[in-house]
Amino acid sequence: MQKNTLLKLMLASMLVFLSLLFSVGCFGVPGAPSDALSQDTPEPLLPTAPDIQKPEPEPEPEPKPETAPPEKSTPVPDNSIVSSNTAFEAYYELLSDAVKEHGFGRMEDNNGQGRQVKGVIYAELIDFDNDGVPELLFIYGLPGPYTANCVIYTYSENSAELLGSYSLYLNHAWISIISNDNGISFLSHSLDELDLFYTLANGQWAEVLNREFYEDYEDDEYEWFVNGNRADEQEYEDSLIKYLGSNIFRPISIFDEDYHTVNDLLIFLNE
C-alpha cells in the first residue's frame, strides 16, 4: 500500500518535471525574452512623422499706391470751327446788306468816259493771321470811271469788325495778296510807286512794310526807300522776303468782269 503511494508520487513528480521541461524548451522562461524570437522576428518599427519641409512663406505683395479715380473726359470744343461758323453768319449778313445796297457787281459805260464799277464786284475769304477764322474781303464800285473801294472785316467779340478800307483806281491804285509758307497773308495796296503791306497780327490790323521808289526821268536815275529809309535796289527787292517771307503777288482785278465770286461766297456762307 505504501509502495503504491510512493510510486504514484514519484510518477506524478516526473510528469510535473517533464511538463516543466517541455514548456521551457518550447516557449522559454515566462517573462524572459526568447532568443529565437529576438533573432527571427524583427522588432516592430514605430511610426515616425514623414520628413516634410515646410514651404517658405510667399512674400506679401506690396500694396499698390492709391490712385485717384480717372476723371471723366469732357469733349473740348473746336473753337476755330465754332468761331468760323458764327463768323460766317456775321459775314453773310454783312455781305447780303452790301449787295442789297449796291447790287451785284457789273460794269457800265460812264457817259463815254470809260467804264464804271457798280455793285459788289468781288468777295473772298482770306485767313490773314492763319488762326482758323478767315477775314472777309469784298470790293464794291464807287462813282467815277474804274473806281472802287476794298474793305476788310474780321470777326471779333461776336460781330464783324472793319479792319481797313482802300481805294482802287485803274492803273493807279490796286491790291494784291501775298502769302508765305507759314500761312500768313498780307494785303498789298499799291499807289503808283508806293507799296503798303498790311496784315492781322495779335488781333491788330497793322502796316508791316512800306517801300517806294522815285524815278528821275531827266537824269534816268532811281531812288529806293524801305520803311522810310534810303536803300539800294537790292535792298528794295529783298525787302519782301525779309519782312513778308514771300515775293509772290496775287493781284485782285476788278475789271475782268468775273463777278460770280460774290454769289458763290454768299451761297457758301449760308450753307
Whether the Cβ atoms of residue 80 and residue 132 lie closer than 8 Å to each other? yes
Over range 45-57, report the average pLDDT: 49
For residue 92, give the amino acid letter. Y
**Ramachandran sector of residue 79 (left: φ over 0; alpha: ψ -120 to 50; beta: rest):** alpha
Element (H, E) at 165: strand 159-169
Q: Which residue has the cell 482802300?
A: 166
Q: Residue 76 — pLDDT band, cuts 50, 70, 90?
A: very low
Distance, CA of 201 to CA of 127 (rounded, Å): 11
Quickly state the pLDDT bin for 158 (edges 50, 70, 90): confident
Rounded CA separation 16/22 (Å): 10
The interaxial angle of helices 260-269 and 79-102, nearest 10 deg, is 140
* pLDDT the model gives residue 114: 77
**CA geometry: angle 259, 176, 194, nearest 5 deg:** 135
On the question of pLDDT at 142 being above 70, the answer is yes
DSSP code at position 184: -
% of the chain at pLDDT higher than 70: 67
- Identify the residue whose cell numbers are 529806293: 224
- pLDDT attached to residue 74: 38
Most confident of 16-20, 79-83, 144-148, 187-191: 187-191
Residue 85: which pLDDT band, with cuts at 50, 70 and 90? confident
Q: Over the chain, what is the mean pLDDT?
A: 78
H helices of the chain, where?
2-27, 35-40, 79-102, 233-244, 260-269
How far is it, in rounded angstroms, from Cα 243 to Cα 228?
14
Average confidence (pLDDT) over 211-218: 84
Tens of pLDDT, residue by residue over 1-48, are 555 565 666 666 666 555 655 554 544 444 444 444 444 545 544 444
Q: State the burial class of residue 193 (Cβ atoms within 10 Å of its Cβ: 0-12, 13-18, 19+).
A: middle
Q: What is the pLDDT of residue 46?
A: 44
- Say which DSSP state 158 is in: T
